[in-house]
Amino acid sequence: MTVAMLMKNTIHAATKVFDKRLLPSWNIRYLPLKLLNPVPSDIEIAKKQKPKDIDVLAEEIGLLPEEVNLYGKKKAKVSLDVLNRLKNVDDSKYVVVTGITPTPLGEGKSTTTIGLAQALGSQLNKNVFACVRQPSQGPTFGIKGGAAGGGYSQVIPMDEFNLHLTGDIHAITAANNLLAAAVDARIFHESTQKDEALYSRLVPQKKGIREFSTIQIRRLEKLGINERDPDKLSPEDRTRFSRLNIDPDLITWQRVMDTNDRFLRKITIGQSPTEKGRERVAQFDISVASEVMAVLALTTSISDMRERLGHMVVATSTTGEPVTADDIGVTGALTVLMRDAIQPNLMQTLEGTPVFVHAGPFANIAHGNSSILADMIALKLAGKFGPDGFVVTEAGFGADIGMEKFFNIKCRRSGLRPHAVVLVATIRAIKMHGGGPTVVAGKPLAKEYSEENLELLEAGFSNPRKQIENAGYFGVPVVFALNRFANDTDSEVETALRLARESGAIDAVCASHWSHGGAGAVDLARSVIKAAESKSNFNFLYPLELGIYEKIETIAKKIYGADGIELLPAAQAKVELYTKQGFGNLPICMAKTHLSLSHQPELKGSPRGFVLPIRDIRVSAGAGFLYPLVGTMSTMPGLPTRPCFYDIDIDPHTLDVTGLF
């Protein structure tokens, strides 16, 4: 009898462990807020809230200890093994937060993402995850400041969030620059060695044995060379294998660093006498503009990431062939450098709601969304016992850029289908689109933005109306979220909400999460729940089989409201080249200003009667998209006269960081 009882208890305990691994139960403790009026600075609020230890939060949301890699006490990386453990769990509801065309000050997408997640969790008891991008060090020390949300809707600790976090951007920088160094080194060695010497050094004898490495075999396969004994290759095949014949004038891979340094926008490299006169003009981009970052954001596994890194095109040969990271032989090393970066970073909101902070691709030349993997893991963790939980993910810039790329690129790659769109707006931005004075970061706002002006508001609603229409092209219901400021009058708020409903939003809600945390976004959260339960007929804007020209034209006409597009000579040549090279079926990632629906930042509202000029087209073959350049895109920001770093310091006694915002 005793043995039988022991066996029964063992089976019962094993069953409980199995159930926990399969369907983790959330038993989460939310953190109370101590609201102050006026609202203190972001960093003051963040410092006064004591976050839970991250291992405690991880246990609350059903993660197992072996799935959590701690980085100190307040942040951790989460293993991709979670996806396999929870593969039979239904995904939760999937909500994307976007915005109208913003002012240079931003309209609060990140703050709304966090505030909405706090409301769904602490106020309405939903299993909920927020997923946001990791900010670059560039704006943190430049002019914009951090990106942890704001007020009483933030990710904490905000200093760790905005600085090194777990080193993902450093890993991207290292991988990117290893590849850049490999490209120039390969050109140098090919130009200074004869065929046989080059081949012998690429495939050396080791302990009397000569063999190809795994990545060299991939190059042989690409070239259609079947021989695997290095000594039996013909002289012609040895030359084909060894020589990439990179055209130095057609190198597209640049070096990166995560600092705003305008003097690195164009440089000359190779000036040392040891490089034997092989100088060339090059440049630095900011790290988040690296294609390695875009690959990280769009990958679905470590093996998928390795393949994508290998497919990245770094240059063109003298015969017009694309040269990839695989050809250079560096793919495995890049993957090793990115081994830890692929794991999403777990943090929390001011109210103790879980947040994944992962990837931060440049929103102009890339797709400006956090990672697919973060969303996938969050959807499983929040999806206990079916799709009643929520994942709130943010798309960068206005809906014409971030949301369009979220649907056409990110969702196409992930296979995930969103249930609702939250379109964030402010009275300030709507008035600007109605003809209000220019808004400039760092300068006081004109009186039109602090005084009631319904005429400006109604005129400017052409922009939110167009962005609501844009979401409609994808068949997803829209909730209009008005981020209310202190100077906004009741009449202005009521007018904006009425116009949003008349424009096709399933609901329009005013929210005060910046000043009240989750409690200020309860109405918004309830509207999002209803929207997510309504009928959704998701579809893409275009099929991939459509030609490059036609895909660009579809985006320009439908999303921007253009009459058509004009391919300038360089762009026309790229259409022909990329179609020939087999890149014609990739989705399109438009690189244009985020300050207007058109290509001209000064054109506000919803411009009409313009033709969109396409200056050039480039390929991100590893990330898996083409990006047409509309105007000039700076990939290395510069520091202003008075950067944010003037205010940033550390208390030498407590080690507390001050001055971040």
pLDDT in tens, 445-470: 999 999 999 999 999 999 999 999 99
Q: Which residue matches tokens 């905005």?
A: 162
| Cis amide linkage into residue 38, ω under 30° from 0 | yes
> Which of the residues 101, 103, 111, 426 is marked catalytic?
111
Long-range contacts of 222-231, Cβ-Cβ distance < 8 Å, separation of 24 or more: 222/326, 222/327, 230/203
In the residue annotation, 397 being an active-site residue is answered as: yes
Q: Cα torsion for 442, 448, 452, 457, to the nearest 10°?
A: -100
User: What backbone phi and psi angles, to 5 degrees, belong to 249?
Assistant: -80, -10
In the residue annotation, 113 being an active-site residue is answered as: no
Average pLDDT of span 547-567? 98
Flag whether pLDDT at 633 surpasses 80.
no
Domains along the chain with CATH numbers: 42-166+341-533 (3.40.50.300), 169-338 (3.30.1510.10), 548-629 (3.10.410.10)
> Which of the residues 119, 175, 363, 429 is marked catalytic?
363
Flag whether pLDDT at 472 surpasses 80.
yes
In the residue annotation, 485 being an active-site residue is answered as: yes
Dist CA 300 CA 306 (whole Å):
11
Q: What is the pLDDT of residues 97-139, one digit of tens each?
A: 999 999 988 899 999 999 999 999 999 999 999 999 998 887 7
pLDDT at position 6 is 52
In the residue annotation, 109 being an active-site residue is answered as: yes
Contacts with 115 (C-beta within 8 Å, 6 or more apart), sequence order = 149, 152, 153, 511, 513, 514, 517, 518, 520, 521, 524
Of the listed ranges 105-109, 274-278, 307-311, 640-644, the one predicted with least confidence = 640-644
> Which of the residues 47, 93, 126, 133 is marked catalytic?
133
DSSP-derived letter for residue 119 is: I
> Which of the residues 85, 218, 239, 485 is marked catalytic?
485
- Segment (H or E) for 346: strand 345-349
> Which of the residues 109, 431, 574, 604 is marked catalytic?
109
Output the average pLDDT for the chain: 93
pLDDT at position 435 is 95
Q: What is the pLDDT of residues 309-364, one digit of tens each?
A: 999 999 999 999 999 999 999 999 999 999 999 999 999 999 999 999 999 998 87
User: What backbone phi and psi angles, to 5 degrees, belong to 656?
Assistant: -70, 135
Confidence of residue 173 (pLDDT cuts 50, 70, 90): very high
pLDDT at position 24 is 44
pLDDT at position 516 is 97
Q: What is the pLDDT of residues 223-243, one digit of tens each?
A: 999 999 999 999 999 999 999
Q: What is the pLDDT of residues 10-28, one digit of tens each?
A: 554 444 444 444 444 589 9
In the residue annotation, 363 being an active-site residue is answered as: yes
Residue percentage of the chain with pLDDT more than 70: 95
Flag whether pLDDT at 387 surpasses 80.
no
Confidence of residue 634 (pLDDT cuts 50, 70, 90): confident
The reported pTM is 0.93
> Which of the residues 75, 144, 413, 466 is marked catalytic?
144
> Which of the residues 397, 406, 461, 474 is marked catalytic?
397
In the residue annotation, 101 being an active-site residue is answered as: no
pLDDT at position 386 is 58
pLDDT at position 398 is 93
